[in-house]
Structure 1
Amino acid sequence: MSKRYRLATEADADELLSLTLRAYEPIRKLGINFAAATADKELVLNNIQKNACYVLEEDGRIVATISLRMPWGPNPGPYGVPHIWWFAVDPETGKKGTGSDMLEWLENTVLRDTLKAPFVSLGTADKHPWLIGMYERKGYVRAGEKDLGKGHITIYLKKQLHD
């Protein structure tokens, strides 16, 4: 099996939209208001054009995506460092570590080694039953919270990448 990480292009929009809607189906069922959960092609294209949207391909098929909102971009995170956003793994790949591999690649290769970011942030909903715990097990710590008017409290987490 061949694996390749790369930046998404506009040509990937339809495949990314399909993957995202399948991956975020449980979020919609929970009633959590994440932008990616109800994405359309315009939002996917906007993400590709304005953020660093990465994909993981296996044998030429996109199986995961993760995006970084940059501090200088139109929608920066809260701490002046890259902010992880729009993380989705194709549910058809099963639970074989694809998401963990993608996240570790982003943290180490992109954020720590290339961008030299001291830490990274992300946000998730307080109402989500397992995401906060999953990120904490991966070394993230709670850093704050905010009501963004989405029907839940956004819990911000940070992970130190450099001393």
Structure 2
Amino acid sequence: MSEVYRLATADDAERLLYVIYEAYVTIRDLELHWPAANADLALIQDNIENHECYVLEVDGQIAATLTLSKGLHPRWVSEWPFVKWFAVDPAYQGQGIGSKLLTWMEEAIIRDKLGAPAVTLATAEKHPWLLPMYERRGYERIQSADPGNGDGTMHLLRKVVNAALFEAQHAR
């Protein structure tokens, strides 16, 4: 099994539309107002063009995707990079593919390329398994808010990826 981590290109948009749409079934069922859950091809193309959209290919097929946001997330104020649009093709779920991509993002991109001490992401409390999954991976809740749109409580989570740098920056 060959694995390739890379930035998505415009040629990947249709495949990413499929992966994200299929992976976000639970998000739509819960009626969460997440842009990726109902993305169309134009929104996928915009995500690729305006953010760092990464993919994990398995044997030449995009199996998972995760985006490093290049803009400020309107709901959260954080000094650390923010990741979003994490999705694994259902055909690859349960095989550790998503875990590999997230670990790679945390280490190769956030810690090593950007030199950031921590990474953030957000999720909904009412989602049945996302919050516990991220907490098992070492993410901790640092902010909570109810956007008032029916999503319920949303949590901003942080994971420290370089403890020494984090401590040095936050020692007071």
TM-score normalised by the chain length of structure 2: 0.88
Structure 1 residues 116 and 125, CA gap change in structure 2 (3 angstroms): same
* CA distance in 2: counterparts of 1:107 and 1:12, whole angstroms: 22
Partner in structure 1 of residue 126 of structure 2: 127
Partner in structure 1 of residue 15 of structure 2: 15
* CA distance in 2: counterparts of 1:26 and 1:75, whole angstroms: 22
Shift of 1:80: 2.3
Contact conserved, 1:5 with 1:56, CA < 8 A, in 2? yes
* CA distance in 2: counterparts of 1:150 and 1:51, whole angstroms: 25
In structure 1, give the amino acid aligned to 2:61. Answer: R
In structure 2, give the amino acid aligned to 1:102. Answer: L
Query: Can you list the C-alpha shifts for 1:63-98, whole angstroms capped at 9, x where unaligned?
Result: 00000113xx26475202210100000001131101
2:42 corresponds to 1:42 = yes
2:150 corresponds to 1:157 = no
- Identity percentage over the alignment? 47
Query: Can you list the C-alpha shifts for 1:81-117, whole angstroms capped at 9, x where unaligned?
Result: 2101000000011311011011000001111111111
In structure 2, give the amino acid aligned to 1:133. Answer: P
Unpaired stretches in structure 2, ≥5 consecutive residues: 165-172
* CA distance in 1: counterparts of 2:31 and 2:60, whole angstroms: 33
Partner in structure 1 of residue 107 of structure 2: 108
Where do 4+ consecutive residues of structure 1 move more than 6 Å?
none
Aligned length: 161
* CA distance in 2: counterparts of 1:94 and 1:14, whole angstroms: 19
Unpaired stretches in structure 1, ≥5 consecutive residues: none
Partner in structure 2 of residue 68 of structure 1: 68
* CA distance in 2: counterparts of 1:146 and 1:111, whole angstroms: 25
TM-score normalised by the chain length of structure 1: 0.93
2:116 partner SS: coil
* CA distance in 1: counterparts of 2:124 and 2:110, whole angstroms: 23
